[in-house]
Chain A
Amino acid sequence: MRDQGSFRQTRSRLELRARGLAAVRSFLDAQGSLEVETPLLLRAQAPERHIVAPAVPGAGFLAASPELQMKRLVADGAGPIHQITRSFRGGERGRVHLPEFTIVEWYLPGATYREAMDQTEALVRWVAERLATSGSPPRFDPGVPFERHRIPDLFERLAGWRPGADVDDERFAFDLVDKVEPALPRDRGVLVYDYPASQASLARLCPGDPAYAERFELYLGGLELANGFTELSDAAEQRARFERERAAIAAQGRSPYPLDERFLAALPRLGLCAGVALGFDRLLLALTGLEDIGEVTSFRWEEV
């Protein structure tokens, strides 16, 4: 039995989500982006060594990301598109992790990660303002511009070393989690960009400095909220990176997903394009200051 109080909590939780979803949609609509849907049940997946797409016996995999399908749509002439969908990550559950979560993903043909960063900042401020006017005070002032830092500079300052192209995967992730993230300001958005080339499997390398890739992340309230990049559109290079990731997955004793040949065939037609993925549940968490991601979903994972 749930008492009156928890009914009210359920209602306000659902209203928060609904208002957030409406705000995201209104922003992207106003940018001239078209809302699309892509399959959640996939036969192939972008291989990434630290991401596990749950297998569905006899059918394939649940999507860990809608990325490859959306890029195929852009390559086929869809123009600017977005979707608000679910993504699945096996083995991830914590205060800010869910095995099934809501992702906002959008693509900007003709743009680089620079414009994508600007648009991500504008989207988050837009949503923060909409949630503020409807009763939930924002945890940060949406009027304050986001900070921007290059990853190598940030590591040099906070971790005492400068990651280069072939950075040690584990050392990079450890210092990111242990030294860099805890030191980021929590009262404003922080955009970090130019990741070591090895830390970006689907991003274009910086044209002037191939040690780094044109990838960025947005942090808000200490949470990693969004990941975006200038898309790699060189199919041969993409195939080589996929093979490297597949080898790393095989070395972990997992069976790598089949290569998505249709994606690789479409990639050269993608041209210049930027894409962003934003964790919607985490956005709500960052804007409300709640502690556990289960407090902003309709059900806690443990109650499903």
Chain B
Amino acid sequence: MYDSSDIRKNLKILIDGQPWVVVDFQFVKPGKGTAFTRTRIKNMITGAVLDKTFRSGEKLEPAEVEQVSAQYMYHEGDQYWFMDNTSYEQFAVSAAQLGDQAQFLTENLVVNITMFQGQPVGIELPTFIEVQITKCEPGVRGDTATGGTKPATISSGALIQVPFHINEGDWVKVDTRDGRYVERINKR
């Protein structure tokens, strides 16, 4: 059992049989009143976000979730198929569970899958991925120093901002937390 004082970002708790993850929390205490922890929690299955206040000393049930390493294979409609790297078992994660993460998935990408009661409920992407630019306007010569950007589509599907000197076919490193361009890389 957790106590309200254990509340941290990413803590996974069970409420009414559903796994929730803490996305934000704050210590609150009226000047003359007792202390509480105000949280924003996300349902790990439905993705629903909820504000919930816990009393000081309130007990929280841990959600027993495990992480398994898996490789992304392909998607079919809104089902994204992965293969467990150890058991070679295949399973699907829905587009709703993936949210914005789906646009950073490329074939064979290794991710961590969060499992709850044997069911996948979400994935954790590597922080950086290496992807190819599939579509962007041609580079502008002599404009590398101004720091300007232009939109570009990457092979996993996401639309990101890249510097002017990047061209179609280039390989780039992208931060999956915010879709930020990091650098161009040499890859054959």
Residues of A whose CB lies within 8 Å of any CB of B are: 48, 50-51, 91-97, 169-170, 172-174, 176-178, 181-182, 199-201, 217, 224, 227
Residue of A nearest to B36 (CB): A177
Residue of B nearest to A200 (CB): B32
Residue of A nearest to B33 (CB): A173
Contact between B32 and A48, CB atoms less than 8 A apart: yes
B14 on interface, CB distance cutoff 8 Å: no
Residue of B nearest to A201 (CB): B32
Contact between B27 and A217, CB atoms less than 8 A apart: no
Give A169 to B55 CA distance when docked, in angstroms. Answer: 12
Contact between A169 and B26, CB atoms less than 8 A apart: no
Give A276 to B118 CA distance when docked, in angstroms. Answer: 57
Contacting A170 at CB < 8 Å: which of B32, B34, B38, B51?
A: B34
Contacting A94 at CB < 8 Å: which of B27, B30, B53?
A: B27
Known: A174-B55, A177-B53, A182-B51. A50 touches B34 (CB 8 A): yes
Give A224 to B51 CA distance when docked, in angstroms. Answer: 19
Residue of B nearest to A215 (CB): B32
Residues of B within 8 A of A48 (CB): 32
Contacting A97 at CB < 8 Å: which of B27, B33, B53?
A: B27
| Most interface-central of A169, A176, A178, A200 (chain B CB within 10 A) | A178
Give A97 to B31 CA distance when docked, in angstroms. Answer: 10
Residues of B within 8 A of A93 (CB): 27
Give A178 to B51 CA distance when docked, in angstroms. Answer: 9
| A-B residue pairs, 8 tightest by C-beta | A94-B27, A173-B33, A178-B53, A173-B34, A177-B36, A227-B31, A177-B28, A50-B34
B3 to A: closest C-beta gap in Å: 15
Residues of B within 8 A of A51 (CB): 32
A176 to B: closest C-beta gap in Å: 6
Known: A50-B32, A50-B35, A199-B32. A170 touches B55 (CB 8 A): yes
Give A97 to B26 CA distance when docked, in angstroms. Answer: 10
Contact between B27 and A177, CB atoms less than 8 A apart: no
List 17 other contacts, CB 8 Å, given A92-B29, A94-B26.
A50-B32, A51-B32, A92-B27, A94-B28, A169-B33, A170-B34, A170-B55, A173-B30, A173-B36, A174-B53, A177-B33, A178-B36, A178-B53, A181-B28, A199-B32, A217-B31, A224-B31
Residue of B nearest to A180 (CB): B30
Residues of A within 8 A of B26 (CB): 94-96
A271 to B: closest C-beta gap in Å: 24
A266 to B: closest C-beta gap in Å: 23
A70 to B: closest C-beta gap in Å: 17
Give A91 to B57 CA distance when docked, in angstroms. Answer: 14
A-B contact pairs, 14 of them (CB 8 A): A50-B34, A92-B29, A92-B35, A93-B27, A94-B28, A94-B29, A97-B29, A170-B34, A172-B33, A173-B30, A177-B28, A177-B33, A182-B51, A201-B32
Give A93 to B29 CA distance when docked, in angstroms. Answer: 10
Give A51 to B35 CA distance when docked, in angstroms. Answer: 10
Contact between A224 and B34, CB atoms less than 8 A apart: no
B141 to A: closest C-beta gap in Å: 33
Contact between B27 and A224, CB atoms less than 8 A apart: no
Residue of B nearest to A179 (CB): B53
A66 to B: closest C-beta gap in Å: 15
A248 to B: closest C-beta gap in Å: 11
Residue of B nearest to A182 (CB): B51
Give A173 to B28 CA distance when docked, in angstroms. Answer: 10
Contacting B30 at CB < 8 Å: which of A91, A176, A182, A201?
A: A176
Query: Which residues from 28 to 78 on chain B have a C-beta closer than 8 Å to any C-beta of chain A?
Result: 28-36, 38, 51, 53, 55
Contact between A224 and B55, CB atoms less than 8 A apart: no
| Most interface-central of B33, B34, B51, B53 (chain A CB within 10 A) | B33
Residues of A within 8 A of B27 (CB): 92-95, 97
Residues of A within 8 A of B34 (CB): 50, 169-170, 173
A71 to B: closest C-beta gap in Å: 17
Give A48 to B31 CA distance when docked, in angstroms. Answer: 10
Give A177 to B27 CA distance when docked, in angstroms. Answer: 11
| Most interface-central of B27, B29, B34 (chain A CB within 10 A) | B29
